[in-house]
Amino acid sequence: MSRKKIKKIISKFSFIPLIKKSLLRGYFDLGFETYIVNSFFQKILRFNTNFLLHFTSRAIISKKIIIEEHSESITVYRSFATSGSCYYQAMNGIEIGKGTIWAYGCKILSANHSLEKGKLEEHDIHNIPIKIGQYVWLGAGVIVLSKVKIGNYAVIGAGSVVTKDIPDYAIAVGNPAKIVGYRCERCLLRNDSSHSCLN
């Protein structure tokens, strides 16, 4: 039976809250096998219970991860469900805008360890969340550190370590991440000397 047929059958039960939420977040589009494995870890083993998370990923204090509620937030939920080996440490909070995506191995760390003598195992709780804007793209293995704001439509290259704020439409790469260019605000392509926007 095809995915479309399965989804059509399941959608007849959308009056059930769990099925309705799963349909709205696009979980059934992931593939039945991925949905079952991730659901097993979430529902049966009680890992990461706020949203469907890839079974190889881990979320610390997932209730402090805020996802902008919008129909286009489906990409955010899909990234949580399909991007494996990610680590989300939300002690100070993580806010993610609609349309944002990320790849395997990303780490988002909202708190550092304390540098005070004898308190190395404690975390620096400052209640300043990491803010990731709308339609941001984080490449594989990106690390986002405490107190950082990433602007709307920004692109962070694979393996980058974001230690400072990144403005809207910026393209940043490296360790630490440095801005190497900007995206055109109309067509979203890289805005360099050879760029001529057709929009």
Under the banding of pLDDT at 50, 70 and 90, the label for residue 110 is very high
Q: Candidates 3.30.390.10, 3.30.360.10, 2.60.40.10, 2.160.10.10; correct CATH number of 51-182?
A: 2.160.10.10
More confident site: 135 or 48: 135
pLDDT tens track for 144-190: 999 999 999 999 999 999 999 999 999 999 999 999 999 988 888 88
Instruction: Tell me what pLDDT residue 162 has.
Output: 98
| Domain boundaries along the sequence of the chain | 51-182
pLDDT tens track for 55-107: 888 888 888 999 998 888 889 988 998 899 999 999 999 999 999 999 999 99
Please name the residues in contact with 153: beta carbons below 8 A apart, sequence gap of 6 or more: 133, 134, 135, 136, 168, 169, 183, 185, 188
Give the DSSP H/E element, type plus range, for residue 38. helix 32-39
CA-to-CA distance for 164 and 109, rounded, in angstroms?
13
Instruction: Tell me what pLDDT residue 193 has.
Output: 67
DSSP string over 107-144: EEE--PBP-STT-TTSB------EEE-TT-EE-TT-EE
pLDDT tens track for 6-60: 777 777 887 888 777 777 777 666 666 666 766 776 666 666 567 778 888 888 8
Instruction: Tell me what pLDDT residue 65 has.
Output: 94
- Encoding tokens for residue 79? 């990234």
